Amino acid sequence: GEQFENISAGSQSAVNSRIIDLFNQAKNHIAITNGCSTSQDAHLELRSIVGNLIPMMAVPLLRCLYYYLSIGDAERVKLYAISVLPVFSHCSPSSYLELKNDLIDHDFNEVDKEYIFFKIRSMYDCLGLSCDVVGSLLGDDFAFCDDSSMKALAGYFFRTDRSGVIEASRIDVDTRAIDIFINNGMYLFQDSEVAFAASFECYKYGHNIAVTGSNHGPLQSLATSSDRDVVPAFSAFRRYFKDDDDYADSILVDAFIGNGVFENANADERRRAIAFILRYMVTHMSIQ
């Protein structure tokens, strides 16, 4: 902590204090709700706490990664890269794969520290992190961080309202997260329904969109929003789907639970249908 905060050696950092507080919140919620059994929605509050806890737990790992990059400790750079980079995999697949190639797949020799930091810094918003939370490495300018100077998305700089651009991008991030949940779950679990159940939760309640406090709601709220009426093509889609106002949501729910036309579909067919509908039917009506 003292490498990133002006605290005395051995003192507890603000980040660690926040992490402990979130763990205590989770513990108390589980105790009060008798293991989230007091109501059908009791788990949602715990889900929100965990959603805030995971990004905060990434902060000490990021700080260690930056510190060992600064002193050129190859073994520890790889150790902390393995520990923290996967949490960004759904944020920007291209940036994650590039960082994975440089810091994990190959032995760390000489890398452009400033460039590595920039690539990681560009994904902070995806997890709801900021320069104020992560901090800057004291005594080494390569990891200097300033939120006010960050005006880029996917490598492209923009001249508009930063929060509006970032919030809209989180729709794609949640869509990508659902695809990762299903794809990984198909190989990790004998019963692929476990993966679909977790992804359905993300669709209903949000992964990045809801946790980070965006003005956008979870993907299901976008798929059922009354605001879609302003999109010129919406009425044509509604007529095509037999006057079902929530046609995209109806198809997605069936795909997630394996119902209707998806009753005999295999896991990969359901995964591809979900990805297609989220990208080209839900998003299309939400960002017009």
Q: Report pLDDT for 45.
A: 87
Residue 146, token pair as written in the block: 């300033």
Q: How many helices (H) and strands (E) does the chain have?
A: 14, 2
Nearest CA-CA partner of 135 in 240, 5, 224: 5
Rounded to the nearest angstrom, the gap between the alpha carbon of residue 47 and the centroid of all alpha carbons in its chain is: 14
Angle between helices 14-32 and 42-71 (to 10 degrees): 160
Nearest CA-CA partner of 44 in 202, 219, 216, 274: 202
Nearest CA-CA partner of 85 in 52, 127, 136: 127
Task: Average pLDDT across each block of 10 residues of the chain; the chain has 288 residues. List them in order.
Answer: 69 88 94 89 86 91 90 91 91 90 83 86 85 81 65 52 55 84 84 89 74 62 87 89 93 95 94 92 76
Q: Report pLDDT for 130.
A: 85
Report the half-sphere exposure of 269 (CA within 13 A, side-chain side): 9
Q: Report pLDDT for 114.
A: 86
| Identity of the amino acid at 113 | K
Q: Report pLDDT for 62.
A: 93
Q: Report pLDDT for 157.
A: 53
